[in-house]
Amino acid sequence: MAKTILIVDDSESIREVVSFTLENEGYNVLIAVDGKDALKFLDGKEIDLIITDLHMPEMDGIELIREVRNMPFYQRIPILFLTTESQASRKMEAKEAGATGWIIKPFVPAKLIGALNKVIR
Protein backbone atom coordinates (compact mmCIF):
# COMPACT_ATOMS: atom_id res chain seq x y z
CA MET A 1 0.00 0.00 0.00
CA ALA A 2 1.15 3.44 -0.76
CA LYS A 3 2.66 5.33 2.16
CA THR A 4 0.96 8.47 3.37
CA ILE A 5 2.92 11.65 3.94
CA LEU A 6 1.61 14.75 5.67
CA ILE A 7 3.01 18.00 4.36
CA VAL A 8 2.83 21.04 6.61
CA ASP A 9 3.83 24.36 5.07
CA ASP A 10 2.25 27.76 4.89
CA SER A 11 3.68 28.40 1.46
CA GLU A 12 1.43 27.15 -1.26
CA SER A 13 4.20 26.90 -3.82
CA ILE A 14 6.33 24.74 -1.55
CA ARG A 15 3.35 22.56 -0.75
CA GLU A 16 2.72 22.12 -4.43
CA VAL A 17 6.28 21.28 -5.36
CA VAL A 18 6.64 18.82 -2.51
CA SER A 19 3.31 17.14 -3.07
CA PHE A 20 3.89 17.01 -6.81
CA THR A 21 7.24 15.32 -6.27
CA LEU A 22 5.89 12.89 -3.71
CA GLU A 23 2.78 12.00 -5.67
CA ASN A 24 5.01 11.30 -8.63
CA GLU A 25 6.87 8.86 -6.44
CA GLY A 26 3.61 7.14 -5.62
CA TYR A 27 2.99 8.44 -2.14
CA ASN A 28 -0.35 9.56 -0.78
CA VAL A 29 -0.13 13.17 0.26
CA LEU A 30 -2.07 15.03 2.93
CA ILE A 31 -1.73 18.78 3.14
CA ALA A 32 -1.89 21.15 6.08
CA VAL A 33 -1.11 24.88 6.03
CA ASP A 34 0.36 25.10 9.53
CA GLY A 35 0.88 23.19 12.76
CA LYS A 36 -2.63 23.73 13.98
CA ASP A 37 -4.07 22.60 10.68
CA ALA A 38 -1.81 19.54 10.77
CA LEU A 39 -3.21 18.42 14.12
CA LYS A 40 -6.58 17.73 12.58
CA PHE A 41 -5.03 14.92 10.54
CA LEU A 42 -3.34 13.41 13.57
CA ASP A 43 -6.45 11.75 14.89
CA GLY A 44 -5.39 8.14 14.57
CA LYS A 45 -5.05 8.21 10.80
CA GLU A 46 -2.30 6.02 9.38
CA ILE A 47 0.45 8.46 8.48
CA ASP A 48 3.94 7.28 7.64
CA LEU A 49 5.86 10.54 7.59
CA ILE A 50 5.41 14.21 8.37
CA ILE A 51 7.28 16.88 6.44
CA THR A 52 6.93 20.25 8.08
CA ASP A 53 8.19 23.78 7.59
CA LEU A 54 9.57 25.43 10.71
CA HIS A 55 8.23 28.95 10.31
CA MET A 56 4.49 29.05 10.18
CA PRO A 57 1.96 31.53 11.55
CA GLU A 58 -0.32 29.31 13.65
CA MET A 59 1.85 26.90 15.61
CA ASP A 60 5.30 26.62 14.09
CA GLY A 61 7.14 23.46 13.13
CA ILE A 62 8.98 22.95 16.40
CA GLU A 63 5.81 23.19 18.44
CA LEU A 64 4.18 20.75 16.06
CA ILE A 65 7.05 18.28 16.44
CA ARG A 66 6.82 18.48 20.25
CA GLU A 67 3.09 18.03 20.07
CA VAL A 68 3.39 14.96 17.81
CA ARG A 69 6.01 13.33 20.01
CA ASN A 70 3.57 13.57 22.88
CA MET A 71 0.88 11.64 21.03
CA PRO A 72 1.24 7.95 21.90
CA PHE A 73 0.05 6.87 18.46
CA TYR A 74 2.53 9.02 16.57
CA GLN A 75 5.39 8.88 19.02
CA ARG A 76 7.71 7.06 16.65
CA ILE A 77 6.62 8.56 13.36
CA PRO A 78 9.49 9.97 11.28
CA ILE A 79 9.34 13.76 10.98
CA LEU A 80 11.40 15.76 8.52
CA PHE A 81 11.51 19.52 8.58
CA LEU A 82 12.25 21.97 5.83
CA THR A 83 14.98 24.43 6.61
CA THR A 84 17.50 26.69 4.98
CA GLU A 85 21.22 26.28 5.25
CA SER A 86 21.66 29.34 7.43
CA GLN A 87 19.38 28.11 10.18
CA ALA A 88 21.81 25.82 11.98
CA SER A 89 20.59 26.74 15.45
CA ARG A 90 16.99 26.04 14.53
CA LYS A 91 18.13 22.72 13.18
CA MET A 92 19.37 21.66 16.61
CA GLU A 93 16.25 22.98 18.24
CA ALA A 94 14.06 20.93 15.92
CA LYS A 95 16.21 17.87 16.39
CA GLU A 96 15.93 18.20 20.15
CA ALA A 97 12.18 18.59 19.85
CA GLY A 98 12.19 15.14 18.26
CA ALA A 99 12.59 15.63 14.53
CA THR A 100 14.08 12.73 12.61
CA GLY A 101 15.89 14.75 9.98
CA TRP A 102 15.70 17.69 7.68
CA ILE A 103 15.53 18.78 4.10
CA ILE A 104 17.52 21.84 3.19
CA LYS A 105 15.91 24.42 0.94
CA PRO A 106 16.41 24.90 -1.88
CA PHE A 107 16.01 21.33 -2.96
CA VAL A 108 15.56 19.39 -6.15
CA PRO A 109 13.28 16.32 -6.24
CA ALA A 110 16.25 13.94 -6.02
CA LYS A 111 17.39 15.58 -2.81
CA LEU A 112 13.93 15.39 -1.32
CA ILE A 113 13.62 11.71 -2.16
CA GLY A 114 17.13 11.11 -0.83
CA ALA A 115 16.14 12.50 2.55
CA LEU A 116 12.91 10.52 2.46
CA ASN A 117 14.78 7.28 1.84
CA LYS A 118 16.66 7.74 5.07
CA VAL A 119 13.49 7.59 7.12
CA ILE A 120 10.83 5.54 5.34
CA ARG A 121 10.76 2.69 2.92
Partner 1 sequence: MDNFKQKFIEEAADLIEGLEKALLLLEQNSEDAGLIQQVFRVMHTLKGNSSMFGFELIDRYTHNLETVYDLIRNKKLKLSRDVLDVTFASVDHLKQLLDESNYSDPDFITLHNSLIARVSKIINAETVVETVEKSANQDIIPDLAKEEFTYYIRFEPINEIFKNGTNPLYLIDEIHTLGKALVFAHLNRIPMLIELDPLKCYTYWEIILVTSADVATLNDVFIFVEGESKIEIQRVSEEDILTDDFFTSELTRIAKIHKDIGIAATMKVAEAAKKRFLQSKAATIKKEKVGLKDASISSIRVSSEKLDSLMNLVSELVTTQARLSLFAEHNNTPELISISENVQKLSRQLRDTAFSIVLIPIEHMLTRFQRLVRDLSNDLKKDVVFITEGADTELDKTIIESLSDPLMHIIRNSLDHGIEDTHLRLQKGKPKQGKITLKAFYSGANVHIQISDDGAGIDPDQIREKAISKGIIPPDKKLSNKEILDLVFLPGFSTAKKVTDVSGRGVGMDVVKRKIADIRGEVEIESEYGVGTTIIIKLPLTLSIIDGLLVKVDETHYVLPLSAVDKIYAVEREQLYDKFNNVLVLEGKQVSFFNIRKEFELSDSPLPVEQVIVVNFEENRVGLVVDSVVGEYQAVLKPLGKHYKKQEMISGATILGDGSIALVLDTNKIIKLFSRIEDYTMNVNSGNK
Contacts to partner 1 by CB under 8 A = 10-14, 16-17, 20, 55, 57, 69, 75-79, 82, 84-86, 95, 98-102, 105-107, 117-121
* Beta carbon of residue 59, minimum distance to partner 1 (angstroms, whole number): 13
Beta strands 49-53 and 79-84, pairing class: parallel
Q: Identify which of residues 14 and 39 has a Cβ nearer to partner 1 in the complex.
A: 14
Neighbours of 34 (CB within 10 A): 21
Q: Which of 4, 37, 18 is nearest to 115 (CA)?
A: 18
Which of residues 39 and 107 has its CB atom nearest to partner 1 in the complex? 107
CB-wise, 40 or 105, nearer to partner 1? 105
Residue 5 has phi, psi (to 5 degrees) of -120, 130
